[in-house]
Amino acid sequence: MKKSLLIASLLTGVCLVNMTQVHAMDKNMEEKLVKVCEAAKSDSRIKLQQAISNVSTGYKEIAESLVCNGVDPITFALNNGAVKTAKLLASRSHKDFDEMLAKL
């Protein structure tokens, strides 16, 4: 019984420690990611390529992880009429552009 209580309390302590660790994003990185969203909205493939290269990550990570105004960058670009950048993001991240367009 004591052994089970000890294990349970240790597991609870470990979970609480993991929950309280919040990783703050570097301000510089946040600004770079905002520029990626702005570039996606601009419908300029060159601006988008430059913004993503400044982040030092791949298109797939950007398309799957970044959130621009509550949606993924491809949907964000489409919502703002930026078809060229949406197609670029979709093709480079191996997403089906027509399927993404149909969901709108």
Full pLDDT tens readout for the chain, 104 residues: 544 433 434 344 444 444 444 456 788 999 999 999 999 999 999 999 999 999 988 999 999 899 999 999 999 999 999 999 999 999 988 877 766 666 66
Tell me the residue length of the chain: 104
**In angstroms, how far apart are the furthest CA atoms of the chain?**
65
pLDDT of residue 6: 35
- Model confidence, pTM: 0.71
Number of H helices, E strands in the chain: 7, 0
